[in-house]
Structure 1
Amino acid sequence: MWDWLTSSTNSTKMAGQSAAAKLSFKILGWCMIVFGGLCGVLALIFTVVKNPRTAFKKTPRDVPPKCLQDSSLGSHEYVRANGIKFHYVCAGDKSKPLMLFLHGFPEFWFSWRYQMNEFSKDFRVVAIDMRGYGETERPPNKLDYTFSKLKQDIVELVPALGYSKCTLVSHDWGGVVAWRVLSRYPELIERFIVMNCPHPKVYAMKLAKDWKQLFMSWYIFMFQIPKLPELIISMNDFETMKGMFINGTKNPDNFPPEVLKAYLYTFAQPGALTAAINYYRCMFKTEKSKATDTTPPPKKIEVPCLVIWGDDDTALSHDMADMHEAVVANLTVKHIPNCSHWVQQDAPETVNQYMSEFLADSIASR
């Protein structure tokens, strides 16, 4: 189960660990799943006891809210890549370079609304619904959401959109996928921007020094359990999801009722939550590398990288942002104090400023 982590730790204290040590990690992993499951069950019981009459009621959500139809954000289009149909929203001149946005969990293309408006004058901005999210097709099987498939989605999307490379902007789970694309296919990426998502090796380095991060991400292990996470998140008319954005942000004015309606509408659709959570359920799946992936990635990433970090992230320790010098040669790090995990929506002006500064020389050189 822990192969995804131990395979990323060649430069850490975990390198060359014995079979006994690896077994210990596997046991720890199963213990964390049990712990996460117990936390989930307790949350479920608490919700039922607190709201016995409404715990399992849901508001019908058949019509998308008006903000999702806002033409000023861009046009809605579709493209096929890696065997499925992707939905995306785009704006800007097609002759401009591509800026591709990859969202996190539980989000969709709409989380990039502030950045799309800002950068459509200099780029062809494209915000996709990732595999299984929003209006993108939802493959039915859990194993349709492995790292290799998610990575290949992006590798094929860039040429499917008519480009040979892009400026890749990512957050959270979008960053998890984006780091892997960058490591294996750097020729696809001109500039790389990632928000509140560490490189896999950085995450492993953090765990080697401080296992507190493991417990900060307890929900990952709870998500391994079938059906329970979907039930918890959707109970009491998606109270948990509402709390993620209302209580989990430092700037709740950026999450008004209409925006919350957009998120609830999106994840209330059949199969939406399961598809999104399947990303987590496939995290520990070990896959044989394809022939195209047999070449080891470079020791350090050469593509210019900007790491933006909302320092009040409750799931990811902010000191990981500064640890990327171990894996990135051309690195810029920007911290945003008093900012949550939902950084591009919580502090959009600051995020846009840091992105603009990072991209200024490449824009000026055209």
Structure 2
Amino acid sequence: MANFHLLILVYFLQIVFSFLGFLMLLFQIIRRPFSFYKTKSRNVPPACLSDPSHGTHEYITANGIKFHCVSKGDPSKPLMLFVHGFPEFWFSWQYQLKEFCNDYRVVAIDMRGYGETDKPAGVRNYTIEILKEDIVQLIKVLSPDRKCILVAHDWGGVVSWRVVQNHPELFHKFIVMNCPHAKVYRRAITKGWKQTLKSWYIFFFQCPWIPEMLLAINDYAAFDDMFKKGLFLNKDFSDDMVEAFKYTFSPRRNLTPPINYYRCMFMSSNRKHSYSSQKIETPTLLIWGERDLALDMSLSDKKEYNDICTDITIKRIPGCSHFVQQDCPHLTNQHMREFLEQ
């Protein structure tokens, strides 16, 4: 009965926030009737994406699709695999690729539906089970004979929490950033309205085509808000770097597969696998930017993980946004290194 009531609430919120999203779109049309839909032609990638200091661009086939990744470091060294969030791609790990390439073979992927990785059509190609299997199969290709370090952020964390929980034999250590375990998130949603209201965009993304339009209007101004104005500490994040995100998600149809991750969230198969009772024994580091506008800081309280992890370290970064690895790379890298050297 509790699940039934939760579903009713979910559907109600979908209707409410879809309507509000439509009003937002209508407001933009009225406000800028001649420019809201204009976008810059982006046929050539920004120079920062071809910077050789990031690593080598490669393609790997796993779980039936072709993945794009950028790798750097000695292939004989342990694998450190980076899994990005929304709306990001491999480039969001640029600072970490350079920091850890002397100690590990660092590999940053474009997740299914992102960047230069294949983009299967249809919402059902982005269920949590498929995304989990993507990571498992990639690790088996990249590091078949030894455990790896898994580093994840946001949606990459959503998937990686589950992979680590179900396949502990693959991992030496796990680092996750601004992403709670599903069990912690669900408790916060059911306890009160605070996190539910902060998660408005999840319900809005259930709506067809309007989310894509809102993210793309005014020449992808949403990406300026996220990665120029929205990075509170990193004032060196250049216009060229912001342009890298706009290039990756252009044209507008490139936004649909990433948003499909959200559209799969309330499918019965995803709800069935929302969390497990099995405790995570892999040593885990949770790094949290305290000025996350979408996730409440209580989701990083250590007591919330007592029934989830046997060994978890939590580091908070004051003044830092949701995009912690890009907003405060120096301190993020420092926390990572200290954890890895333990």
The aligned runs of 1:103-122 (5 Å cut-off) are: 103-122=84-103
Distance change >3 Å, CA 167–CA 261, structure 1 → 2:
same
Q: Residue deviations 1:46-87, cap 9 Å, x none? A: 211221110111110010010000001100000100000000
After TM superposition, the structure 1 = structure 2 runs for residues 88-167 of structure 1, keeping only pairs within 5 Å, are 88-164=69-145, 165-167=147-149
Pair 73,132 (structure 1): closer, same or farther in 2 beyond 3 Å = same
Question: Is 1:51 the equivalent of 2:32?
Answer: yes
Partner residue of 2:284?
305
1:215-364 paired onto structure 2 within 5 Å: 215-269=197-251, 271-287=253-269, 297=276, 299-322=278-301, 323-361=304-342
**Does structure 2 conserve the Cα–Cα contact (< 8 Å) formed by 1:339 and 1:346?**
yes
Instruction: Name the SS for the 1:127 alignment partner.
Output: strand
Distance 1:138 1:316, change over 3 A: same
- Extract unaligned runs of 5+ from structure 2: none
Q: Distance in 2 between matches of 1:297 and 1:236?
A: 42
Conservation of the 8 A alpha-carbon contact between 1:102 and 1:130: yes
8 Å contact from structure 1 (residues 254, 345) kept in 2 = no
| Residue identity matched to 1:187 | E
* Residue aligned with 2:5, SS: helix
Give the C-alpha shift of residue 35 in structure 1: 1.6
Cα distance change, pair 288–231 in 1 and its aligned pair in 2 (3 A): closer
Distance 1:192 1:302 in 2: 10
Q: Deviations over 1:342-365 (max 9, x none)?
A: 10000000000000000013xxxx
Instruction: Single out whichever of 340-349 and 202-211 deviates more from structure 2.
Output: 202-211
Shift of the alpha carbon at 1:251?
Answer: 2.4
Q: 194, 197, 201: which is aligned to 1:212?
A: 194
User: Aligned partners of 1:279, 1:189: CA distance in 2, in Å?
Assistant: 24
SS state of the match for residue 301, structure 1?
coil
Please report the TM-score for the alignment, with normalisation by the length of structure 1: 0.89
Pair 1:193–1:162, CA change in 2 (3 A): closer
C-alpha distance in 1 between matches for 2:270 and 2:33: 47
- Helix, strand or coil for the counterpart of 2:232? coil
Q: RMSD of aligned C-alpha atoms?
A: 1.7
Contact 1:183 1:298 (C-alpha < 8 Å) held by counterparts:
no
- Alpha-carbon distance in structure 1 between the residues aligned to 2:209 and 2:271: 30
Q: Secondary structure at the match of 1:326?
A: coil
Match of 1:201 in 2: 183
**Aligned mates of 1:83, 1:43 — CA distance in 2:** 39
SS for the counterpart of 2:279 is coil
Q: Post-superposition shift, 1:167?
A: 0.4
Separation in structure 1 between the aligned mates of residue 334 and residue 270 of structure 2, nearest angstrom: 41
Percentage identity across paired residues of the two chains: 50
Q: Deviations over 1:261-296 (max 9, x none)?
A: 100000004631001100000111122999xx9xx9
